[in-house]
Amino acid sequence: MSNLQKVIKYFAMGFAVFLAVCIIWGITSTAIAIVSVVTGETFFDGGKNRVDFNESFKEVESLDIDGSFGDVYIKTGETFRVEAENVTNDFKARVSSTGRLMISEEKFKFPFFIFSQGKSKVTIYLPEDFTADNVKLDCGVGDVQIDALYTEELSINAGIGDIDGTNVKADKVKIDGGIGDLKLSNVIFEDVNIDSGIGDVELIGELYGYNAFDSGIGEINIKIKGHPDDYDFNVDSGIGSVRVNDKKISGIITNVNSEHTVKVNGGIGGIRIDFFE
């Protein structure tokens, strides 16, 4: 994809999201008003049909989280436990026969915070010594906070909201950006593939293997623990400069005996890669 095509793609994405929200808001508000007048029933008032959820689980090997319900927190705890506040009756959390902890709401709900009854909050507690086979996080509308997460494979499909994490380790990482900032610190990642979407990206920690960053609209700041001589670079700067340790670079740079690669496909916004010991 050429740089011009990328510019058109991400501007179109942002405009499409804005237009879709306006249309859905208008249709939904009108429909609710009509039904309320006809039936005399008030919808989305005071947390109607909202519940809290608190349950512990055993024999968990992987995670599948549908974050459409609001803010998501992943924290360290003594056991596998899911706590949810102000979720709908469709909220489910269960462990499959293969050890997959699946968290979701079965039916689509228009983002309820728009109707002033408060966001949902879901907190997943994981034992400190737990390493998942894989973690899949499908974000909706809301922020994601990760305090500690260890997994062989990590897949994040971002929605609308910020993702902020620390102490995250994964052998394979795939992140598709949405609308919002992505900030991950104290990471140990291998074979990273990040498409940043619309928003800033900050990644701090150790990167090994082949690491690809496809920039959308926003700044990308990568701070790698190590030395630049241990990395090959493949850079297409797009609209905005790419700098490694404050030195502007482009094209392919190969270092003798390097074991790792950083590939950057620039979009709209600057990209900085800094190394530290």
Structure tokens at 108: 């689509």
Residue 4 is predicted with a pLDDT of 53
**pLDDT value for 25:** 53
Instruction: Identify the CATH number of the domain in which residue 71 sits.
Output: 2.160.20.120
201 and 131 within one domain: no
173 within some domain = no
Q: How many CA atoms lie within 13 A of 238 on its CB side?
A: 29
CA dist 68 → 4, 15, 153, 184, 193 (Å): 32, 21, 21, 21, 23
Give domain status of residue 154, yes or no. Answer: no
User: What is the end-to-end Cα distance of the chain in Å, rounded?
Assistant: 35
Please tell me the predicted confidence (pLDDT) of residue 42.
Answer: 39
Q: What is the pLDDT of residue 223?
A: 98
Instruction: Say if residue 60 is in the same domain as residue 29.
Output: no
Structural domain includes residue 9? yes
Q: What pLDDT is attached to residue 35?
A: 46
Domain interval for residue 89? 46-147
Q: Answer yes or no: is 185 within a domain.
A: yes
Q: Is residue 121 part of a domain?
A: yes
Number of Cα atoms under 13 Å in the Cβ half of residue 115:
18
At residue 15, the pLDDT reads 60
Instruction: Answer whether residue 3 is part of any domain.
Output: yes
Q: How long is the chain?
A: 277
Pair (264, 185) in one structural domain: yes
Looking at the fold, whether 57 and 134 belong to one and the same domain comes out as: yes
**Does one domain contain both 121 and 196?**
no
Same-domain status, 8 and 57: no
Q: Write down the H helix ranges in the chain.
A: 3-39
Q: Are residues 17 and 89 in the same domain?
A: no
Which backbone phi and psi does 32 adopt, to 5 degrees? Answer: -65, -40
Q: Based on the fold, state whether residues 64 and 17 are members of the same structural domain.
A: no
Same domain, 234 and 254: yes
User: What pLDDT, on a 0 to 100 scale, did the predictor assign at position 40?
Assistant: 40
Amino acid 239: pLDDT: 82
Return the pLDDT at 10: 56
Of 147, 169, 198, which residue constitutes the final position of a domain? 147
In the chain, how many domains are there?
Answer: 3
37: CB partners within 8 A, 6+ apart:
none
30 and 51 fall within a common domain: no
Task: Write out residues in the chain with pLDDT < 70, as ranges.
Answer: 1-22, 24-48, 69, 106-118
